[in-house]
Structure 1
Amino acid sequence: MTELRGVGIGLGVAQGPVARMAEPLPAPSDAPSTVGVEPERERVRDAIAGVARELEERGAQAGGSARDVLEAQAMMAEDPTLAAEVDTRIADGKTAEWAVHDAFASFRDQLVAIGGYLGERAADLDDVAQRVIARLRGLPAPGVPDPGHPFILVAKDLAPADTALLDLDKVLGLVTTEGGPTSHTAILAREKSIVAVVGAAAAKDLADGETVIVDAAAGVVVRDPSADELERAQHRADSRAAAADAPITPGALADGTAVPLLANLGKPGAAAEAVGLGAEGVGLFRTEFLFLSSSQAPTVAEQKAAYTELLAAFPGKKVVVRVLDAGADKPLPFLNDAHEENPALGLRGIRALRASEDILREQLTALAEADAATSADLWVMAPMIGTVEETRYFTALAREYGIKTAGVMVEVPSSALLADRVLAHADFASIGTNDLTQYTMAADRLLGSVAAFQDPWHPAVLRLVREVGAAGQARGKPVGICGEAAADPLLAVVLVGLGATSLSMAPTALADVRATLLQHSLDDARRIADAALATDDPEQARRAAHAAATREKETQQ
């Protein structure tokens, strides 16, 4: 038996034979075209249009965040700049295949050099290029294999188009050699409840047909498992399935300490599914969907309709709405589309809203009107708060519009370190662990080359969470978690031990987190958190927390 380490997504465990993702198509030759310029142009136009339509259809079929990702890929395929580059190469006598390969590769290198959000899209561009070249050659697009039986899929990474439409009756589990806990693959795997271990570099040596165990809870892939290990893994899988079918109860620890489990949502239409999966409210409602596809800000009436739909789905429940978080990877022409050398450190979040205060005032107006029309408990928070003055500004403005509960997102180390002062003015704090990790580690959360640094288990990040938790307890103010970290069941226990009073996550993660919290008391959670804090790096923190949690369970038995 050999263990290959990676980052587990959720608590699932699966077993089965390996089927490896096919290798990319070989690069086309640089031989000149034999059919002429116009036929090559027609071939490439048809191929690109066909790939774009296929991506859009896959997105419509998949729904959710996958739809947004695939629609973005379709737009990328038909980008006019890329089309011009392809056409230039065809005009020089190249084949359509070579023109696509070379033009897309050149564009990819430019994106990597830019970095940030665009740098992360380079992998998506590679996938589009492969699909176009396959269509030009009359071959099936590179994608998920079909060995004719259920299997464990092993890949370098998965394109969003492949992850979105995985056949879960055939794909028992997923292992990637690259990527991290906030990669597209990880996020979509979590959304679809796929048992997954990502970033397991040694999995590159797995062979087709060999049997493995994918243990997401432990973050390992087990090679050559014994019959006993296979039986234990199956027992765990059966027990987890039974727990998922058990009656849904409010989030709580073993000693009865309440830990409300809330949902992260991006559109009102996702509310019904969240309620069905046991969400006790909403811990993060992202309002960007109203703004990102428009050339101008939505009207107050349009916003009120959307917020009313959301709030009506949670009568009497807490709903935390984040006002517009634009800038960085989400520039808006009517808010801030000025070029910035480093937009992640530029005019984003509350800074951008202050520069265009009329947009913030309209949003607060719409939220207040929706609140008056429904019975939900509306909380409103501002993104990217970095100073006490920004806190005073936002909470005063929110109260001017009748918002009863106004808070802030803690995503910048400065606000975490000043949490006691920030919470003197804010009614609550919500920690966005994705951005807090990014800014603590100086590692762009959307850049694959530094994905290893984007780990919320890092003791430096956990110490900042502890600062906010302690400030919340001292001030008597709630402290929530709304980043991807809350969806990691063991990390959720640690976060509660550090002072978090509620956890918000993708709705599909609720069952695992609920079950794990019930295994530990508040004192247990604090001891597990202390064990993680007393380490030097994320991997040590995971192992220390796991060992401490195991000791606590053994003591109880």
Structure 2
Amino acid sequence: MPELPGVGVGRGTASGPVLRMAAPLGEPDASPLQGDAASAKASVGEALAVVAADLGRRGALAGGDAQQVLEAQALMAQDPSILDDVHAQIDSGTNPERAVYNAFKSFQDILSGMGGYMGERAADLGDVSQRIIAQLRGVHAPGVPESDTPFVLVARDLAPADTALLDLDKVLALVTRDGGPTSHTAILARAKGITAIVGVTSADDLVDGQTVVVDAGAGVVITEPTDEQLAEAERKRAERLAAVNAPLTPGALKDGTLVPLLANVGSPNDAPAAVAAGAEGVGLFRTEFLFLDSPYAPDVATQKASYVALLKEFPGKKVVVRALDAGADKPLPFLTDKDEENPALGRRGLRALRHHEEILRDQLTALAQADAETEADLWVMAPMVADVEETEYFVSLARELGIRTAGVMAEVPSVALMADQVLGVADFVSIGTNDLTQYTMAADRMLGTVASYQDPWHPAVLRLVAQLGDAGRAVGKGVGICGEAASDPVLAVVLVGLGATTLSMTPAALADVRAELSTHTLDEARRMAAAALAAPSAAAARSAVASVVTSL
């Protein structure tokens, strides 16, 4: 086929030769140990040390979130319990490669069974195992290929560390067979500003050296581009580059309707990049970084220091802080329940905080104190709110502890269905489209087999957004978007047409969204939204909106 469809990430366009990612190493054979056990153990120890050092080096080069991922993998390579298992198997006559494979596979299975955040770590263990076995074999580890010239990387999928380490001077674009709009590959590609299309089911048909055009805006890979299509791709690339480098302006539609563009940030260290990208404030500050690596909740003073550091970066601007969102894929020993059969539907977010109210009180107190010492416009919201009663609980407690602007996240469909009542109590609502899609479509966002359902373009999700937008408009209160959906430029326009008053996203997406908003009026945005709402599926919604845009 001349065009292979998929889900585009952003609006980028690129062209160049294909270079495929190497397939994983085959499973080691179960042949018996050759030679003595001591030598075999020594060879494994050397391989572990080399892999750990290489991962550490790569992490130091990558920096940021990628460094944390790779340093965690380096620790996995040196885990003494896994090494003890490897040694025991070698002592029983297993060859070194098979011993490594068996030991890591055993731990992988345990983590996979736990699901959520720990389940994701299973894939990281698999990557470490592959690297160690490759070192034992004396071959290159599977991963991103090296090339002296730029290329379009084609892969089944990428591990988070692979995506984080892509050389943007060499990787023109990314095409994956697997994944959906909220997969880790899509999220990291968007965060790094990589032109990408995920979920290209026919990606296996692409061959090394084949010239293709990757059009993320259209969501297609053109496999036999003409000279005209190659020239058009270059024109689009130059146009996008100009938009990225254009003077920073407030987010607005073509008719002047203001749509503030905010940034999603995970720690105070992310603030400078957000400001440099033109963020008009923060639409989602994730506070989990303070809690995830601690055996107990940090005290008020510790939290306050981090909140002050963030708020000082945005004087006079809105900063929306999400209260601790633990549970599901982010379990905490001091807060969430153990051994929940389905933690995504368990005691998470506000449910967990309410069960341990002292943790919520400390966090709100720290935020109020930080607010008093800085000049930002602090808004605080509760995650995983289900109804009006929970809204009243959070808003009342926040007021009691000195928070001036208190709202809730709309991630559970019940909040959208009761939007008028919820917005009668809350100062604002912020829609977390990732979880709202998960719960609307009954599709675990961490489960690859149902990734196709994790699409915020689905009309069922958009109808809930419309209900929230209508309710906010009726009472004059803000309805923001802080999920990955806001990073999709065309969908961002649709969301504004549905009533969203602000959009918050990864900083790398700000330029594309700002440029797209500037090409449509509010009336056009509403026409696009109406077309999406009337469609029967996510794919049909995309197509219907594209038809509206073409007719404008």
**TM-score (ref. length: structure 1):** 0.96
Distance 1:543 1:120, change over 3 A: farther
Distance 1:545 1:73, change over 3 A: farther
Contact 1:5 1:219 in 2 (8 A): yes
Structure 1 counterpart of 2:254? 254
Distance 1:352 1:79, change over 3 A: farther
Output one character per residue of 1:398-451: Cα deviation in whole Å (capped at 9) or x when no partner.
Answer: 000111100000101111111111111100000000111111111111111211
Contact 2:116 2:330 in 1 (8 A): no
Distance 1:325 1:413, change over 3 A: same
Contact 1:151 1:172 in 2 (8 A): yes
Structure 1 counterpart of 2:525? 525
Partners of 2:541 and 2:118 in 1: CA distance: 31
Partners of 1:115 and 1:368 in 2: CA distance: 35
Partners of 2:399 and 2:328 in 1: CA distance: 28
Contact 1:497 1:529 in 2 (8 A): yes
Question: What amino acid sits opposite 2:283 in the alignment?
Answer: G
Partners of 1:66 and 1:455 in 2: CA distance: 26
Distance 1:211 1:550, change over 3 A: same
Q: Does 1:182 align with 2:182?
A: yes
Output one character per residue of 1:247-271: Cα deviation in whole Å (capped at 9) or x when no partner.
Answer: 1100001111110000000010111
- Displacement of 1:37: 2.4
Partners of 1:85 and 1:474 in 2: CA distance: 63
Task: Name the SS for the 2:130 alignment partner.
Answer: helix
Partners of 1:254 and 1:419 in 2: CA distance: 29
Partners of 1:361 and 1:121 in 2: CA distance: 31
Partners of 1:429 and 1:77 in 2: CA distance: 43
Distance 1:287 1:236, change over 3 A: same
- Displacement of 1:52: 3.2
- Displacement of 1:337: 4.6
- Displacement of 1:246: 1.1
Identity %: 65
Question: What amino acid sits opposite 1:357 in the alignment?
Answer: E
Distance 1:189 1:316, change over 3 A: same
My pick for the range that moved more, 394-403 or 83-92, is 83-92
Partners of 2:521 and 2:186 in 1: CA distance: 29
Structure 1 counterpart of 2:196? 196
Contact 1:66 1:188 in 2 (8 A): no
Structure 2 counterpart of 1:384? 384
Structure 2 counterpart of 1:405? 405
Contact 1:178 1:198 in 2 (8 A): yes
My pick for the range that moved more, 25-34 or 35-44, is 35-44
Structure 2 counterpart of 1:89? 89
Question: What amino acid sits opposite 2:456 in the alignment?
Answer: P
Contact 2:308 2:370 in 1 (8 A): yes
My pick for the range that moved more, 237-246 or 389-398, is 237-246
- Displacement of 1:303: 0.8
- Displacement of 1:106: 4.1
Output one character per residue of 1:368-393: Cα deviation in whole Å (capped at 9) or x when no partner.
Answer: 11101011000000000011111000
Structure 1 segment 534-549 matched on structure 2, within 5 A: 534-549=534-549
- Displacement of 1:58: 2.3
Question: What amino acid sits opposite 1:200 in the alignment?
Answer: V
Question: What amino acid sits opposite 2:301 in the alignment?
Answer: A
Partners of 2:178 and 2:423 in 1: CA distance: 39
Q: Does 1:132 align with 2:145?
A: no
Structure 2 counterpart of 1:477? 477
Output one character per residue of 1:320-359: Cα deviation in whole Å (capped at 9) or x when no partner.
Answer: 0011111111111221252211111111100110111111
Structure 2 counterpart of 1:555? none
Output one character per residue of 1:144-185: Cα deviation in whole Å (capped at 9) or x when no partner.
Answer: 222421111111111222221211111111111111122221
Question: What amino acid sits opposite 1:264 in the alignment?
Answer: N
Output one character per residue of 1:215-244: Cα deviation in whole Å (capped at 9) or x when no partner.
Answer: 010111001100001001101111111121
Structure 2 counterpart of 1:320? 320
- Displacement of 1:77: 3.7
Contact 2:411 2:435 in 1 (8 A): yes
Output one character per residue of 1:427-479: Cα deviation in whole Å (capped at 9) or x when no partner.
Answer: 00000001111111111111112111111111111111111111111121100
My pick for the range that moved more, 348-357 or 92-101, is 92-101
Q: Does 1:311 align with 2:317?
A: no
Contact 1:285 1:322 in 2 (8 A): yes
Contact 1:116 1:444 in 2 (8 A): no
Partners of 2:463 and 2:78 in 1: CA distance: 45
Aligned length: 552
Contact 1:13 1:237 in 2 (8 A): yes
Output one character per residue of 1:494-540: Cα deviation in whole Å (capped at 9) or x when no partner.
Answer: 11111100000000000000000011111111110111111121111
Task: Name the SS for the 2:172 alignment partner.
Answer: strand
Partners of 2:321 and 2:463 in 1: CA distance: 26
Question: What amino acid sits opposite 2:514 in the alignment?
Answer: R
Task: Name the SS for the 2:152 alignment partner.
Answer: strand
- Displacement of 1:99: 1.2
Partners of 2:183 and 2:8 in 1: CA distance: 12
- Displacement of 1:113: 4.5
Distance 1:544 1:84, change over 3 A: farther
Partners of 2:362 and 2:431 in 1: CA distance: 25
Output one character per residue of 1:88-143: Cα deviation in whole Å (capped at 9) or x when no partner.
Answer: 42232111111122333344344445443344444333222111111122222222
- Displacement of 1:81: 5.0
Partners of 1:384 and 1:502 in 2: CA distance: 20
Partners of 1:466 and 1:162 in 2: CA distance: 37
Task: Name the SS for the 1:142 alignment partner.
Answer: coil
Contact 1:119 1:447 in 2 (8 A): no
Question: What amino acid sits opposite 2:325 in the alignment?
Answer: D
- Displacement of 1:80: 5.1
Contact 1:410 1:431 in 2 (8 A): yes
Structure 1 segment 406-485 matched on structure 2, within 5 A: 406-485=406-485
Contact 2:147 2:170 in 1 (8 A): no
Question: What amino acid sits opposite 1:328 in the alignment?
Answer: A
- Displacement of 1:201: 1.3
Partners of 1:159 and 1:212 in 2: CA distance: 23
Task: Name the SS for the 1:541 alignment partner.
Answer: helix
Contact 1:322 1:381 in 2 (8 A): yes
Question: What amino acid sits opposite 1:472 in the alignment?
Answer: G
Contact 1:58 1:161 in 2 (8 A): no
Q: Where do 5+ consecutive residues of structure 2 fail to align?
A: none
Contact 2:55 2:74 in 1 (8 A): yes
Partners of 2:463 and 2:297 in 1: CA distance: 38
Structure 1 counterpart of 2:31? 31
Task: Name the SS for the 1:201 alignment partner.
Answer: coil
**TM-score (ref. length: structure 2):** 0.97
- Displacement of 1:48: 2.8
Contact 2:18 2:209 in 1 (8 A): yes
Question: What amino acid sits opposite 2:259 in the alignment?
Answer: V
- Displacement of 1:32: 1.1
Partners of 1:261 and 1:455 in 2: CA distance: 22
Partners of 1:76 and 1:9 in 2: CA distance: 31
Partners of 2:393 and 2:327 in 1: CA distance: 19
Question: What amino acid sits opposite 1:240 in the alignment?
Answer: R
Partners of 2:61 and 2:183 in 1: CA distance: 21
Partners of 1:80 and 1:474 in 2: CA distance: 60
Task: Name the SS for the 1:217 alignment partner.
Answer: coil
Question: What amino acid sits opposite 1:395 in the alignment?
Answer: V
Contact 2:337 2:347 in 1 (8 A): no
Contact 1:484 1:505 in 2 (8 A): yes
Partners of 2:53 and 2:179 in 1: CA distance: 27
Partners of 1:479 and 1:193 in 2: CA distance: 26
Task: Name the SS for the 2:202 alignment partner.
Answer: helix
Task: Name the SS for the 1:100 alignment partner.
Answer: helix
Contact 1:55 1:161 in 2 (8 A): no
Structure 1 segment 472-511 matched on structure 2, within 5 A: 472-511=472-511
